[in-house]
Every structure is written in C-alpha cells, then in structure tokens.
C-alpha cells in the first residue's frame, strides 16, 4: 500500500533531472572567519559540490552578496566551472529577498533545491527556510557551508531542520544523484569522487552488466 502523497512530500529521490544547484555567497572574504570547519576541507567540499552540477549539467544559480565590499568575489574555482553563467550580485542579505535571484531559481523549473552557502548562519539558513515555506524541497549541504562558530552552525541546523529542510553532505548528494553504478552519470560523478573524496577511488564498473 502506497502512502498518501500528502503525507509523503519527499517521495521522489533527488536526481539530476529534478534538482537545481544553488551556490550561495562562496566568497573569498568569508573564509578567514569560518570556524566550524577547516578551511582546506571547506574549499574542497564546495568545489566538489559545484563540480557535481557542472559535470552533470544540472541547472545552477550563482549569487554573491555585496561582492564589491568586504565579502569579496566568488571563489575563482566556481566561476571557472560555469564560464557562461552570470553571477547575481545583490545587496540584500537574504538572497531569497532579491527578485532577480528568485526569478532565476524559479526559471530552472525545479522544485528540489540543493543549497550550500557561506555562511551557514546567515546566507544558508534564511533562503533555505523561506524556500521551504514557498513549497520547495531544500537540501542543505552542510559540509559545503560554514559558520562563525560551531554553536552558531548548530543553532541554524536546528532551525532549518525544524522548518523542514533536509540536512545532507556533498558525498550523500553525489551518491543520490549517481543512484546506479551503471547509470548515465557514473563517469562525471566518479570523477568528482576521485578528485575530492580523499582515501576513496571510484573504479569503473568494468565487466559489470545489467541483468537481462
């Protein structure tokens, strides 16, 4: 017996075909103050998350907050992955209060949103909670986000979780997008594992084949 869909709003898995990647405010000026995760790990995880979208062709929206000021420009590794994608630079703290940004997200046609941001306690929590209120299914990539302190991040995780957001990591997102080791996204996603999941090398499926 299947569940009433009204009681099971997350009944379809995350996929390249139904999700959009929202990379929010991964700007150079934030890194010195992030204390909830080591800088090298954070940069690695952000780049891995961005590569998942770039290499699978997932719709992506980039935004920066007051880039001309202390926050600085987006990480160059991100803009290099999306050379044809414009960055929506805004003055609003909450990107979900910027009409151009919300229009760009809605233009993707996707209801599942994969979000990561600097910082977790400002640039992630505000749009994540608001998007859920507007009927989107939001996946918060916590290890591709960071906060000023562990306590600040913990508080915002509780807030996002209570609002209905889904807490996740870049590896979990990648595995859900992969879904099938013989599927169409095995090569792009395996390449991200090989480059960013240290200690693990994804091998080609080799002689494996589908059952008739």
Rounded to whole angstroms, the Cα distance separating 2 from 186 reads: 30
Handedness of CA 146, 35, 51, 10 (dihedral sign): negative
For Cα atoms 137, 120, 175, give the angle at the middle one, nearest 5 degrees: 50
Side-chain-facing half-sphere of 40: CA atoms under 13 Å? 2
Both tokens of residue 118? 């600097």
123 assigned to active site: yes
Distance of CA 199 to the CA centre of its chain: 23
CB 50 within 8 A of CB 87: no
Among 123, 140, 156, 165, which one carries the catalytic annotation? 123
Q: In what order do the strands lie in the sheet with 166-168?
A: 87-90, 60-65, 19-24, 112-117, 137-141, 166-168
Which residues are catalytic, by number? 123
């Amino acid at each position: 017996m299947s569940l009433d869909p009204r009681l099971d709003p997350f009944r379809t898995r995350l996929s390249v075909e139904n999700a959009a990647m929202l990379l929010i405010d991964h700007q150079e000026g934030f890194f010195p103050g992030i204390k909830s995760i080591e800088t090298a790990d954070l940069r690695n995880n952000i780049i891995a998350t961005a590569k998942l979208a770039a290499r699978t062709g997932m719709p992506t929206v980039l935004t920066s907050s007051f880039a001309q000021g202390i926050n600085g420009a987006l990480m160059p590794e991100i803009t290099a992955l999306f050379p044809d994608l414009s960055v929506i630079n805004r003055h609003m703290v909450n990107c979900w209060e910027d009409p151009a940004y919300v229009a760009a997200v809605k233009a993707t046609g996707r209801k599942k949103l994969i979000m990561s941001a600097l910082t977790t306690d400002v640039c992630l929590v505000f749009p994540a909670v608001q998007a859920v209120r507007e009927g989107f299914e939001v996946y918060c990539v916590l290890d591709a986000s960071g906060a000023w302190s562990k306590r600040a991040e913990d508080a915002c995780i509780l807030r996002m979780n209570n609002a209905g957001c889904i807490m996740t990591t870049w590896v979990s997102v990648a595995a859900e997008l992969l879904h099938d080791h013989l599927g169409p996204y095995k090569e792009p996603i395996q390449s991200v594992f090989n480059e960013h999941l240290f200690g693990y090398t994804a091998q080609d499926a080799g002689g494996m084949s589908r059952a008739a």
